[in-house]
Chain A
């Protein structure tokens, strides 16, 4: 079945440093979504990418969808302590279910 891998598992950065998490799917995706889960919280939807090669920005966050629609990345510029949490990618292969990656846990040292 469909699998979504995400790396790294953990990332510990100094406040102000950049952060990137990468996501790879075993199958071609119709779209990919990104979620953030704060410690003790629930996943919160950030964005959806649909088109091959698509790039979207939300303030300091940049999301990319690969040309083959099998990989994606999330880049955070100049991290802040408010960015702490686990970032999940989730792939939709049009089978009515969203498969989540294992997540990247971001820790930010003030």
Chain B
């Protein structure tokens, strides 16, 4: 157990639907990051939050949005889902802006059918 909790572990949904992925960071970590990993692909940076504020944005689609709540957990919302959104979505956390290694959760595998 890495200390970063992601739910659900698996999600199967139809095209056009909307889903929410949830992440609880490791205790004490203020930063949360979301990454997308497609089959046999690298990790694509989506977005970062630090203590509730959006800090950095990657190539995140307009159909995707995220937020970090006062208790520091984060949610990634994916809407108008397409087949190409099928991927592993990882959440990671770190101990503040002076990054020293990310701790990743076990991921949510999203399948869009």
Q: Are B48 and A96 in contact (CB under 8 A)?
A: yes
Q: Are A100 and B90 in contact (CB under 8 A)?
A: no
What 1/0 mask marks residues of chain A from 79 to 110 whose CB sits below 8 Å from any chain B CB?
00000000010101001111111110000000
B residues sitting closer than 8 Å to A (CB atoms) are 2, 33, 35, 41-45, 48, 50, 55-56, 58, 90, 92, 97, 99-107
B12 to chain A, nearest CB (A): 18
Q: Are A48 and B45 in contact (CB under 8 A)?
A: no
Q: Are B43 and A43 in contact (CB under 8 A)?
A: yes
Q: Are A96 and B50 in contact (CB under 8 A)?
A: yes
Main secondary structure of the interface of A (DSSP, over half): strand
Q: Are B43 and A88 in contact (CB under 8 A)?
A: yes
Please report the number of residue pairs spanning A and B whose Cβ atoms sit closer than 8 angstroms: 52
B33 to chain A, nearest CB (A): 7
Q: Tell me how many residues of A have a C-beta within 8 Å of chain B.
A: 21
Closest partner residue, chain A, to B35 (CB atom)? A100
Give complex CA distance A92, B55 in Å: 14
Determine the chain A residues whose CB is within 8 A of the CB of B45 once the complex forms. Answer: 97-100
B22 to chain A, nearest CB (A): 16
Determine the chain A residues whose CB is within 8 A of the CB of B35 once the complex forms. Answer: 100
Determine the chain B residues whose CB is within 8 A of the CB of A43 once the complex forms. Answer: 43, 90, 92, 102, 104
A50 to chain B, nearest CB (A): 10
B56 to chain A, nearest CB (A): 4
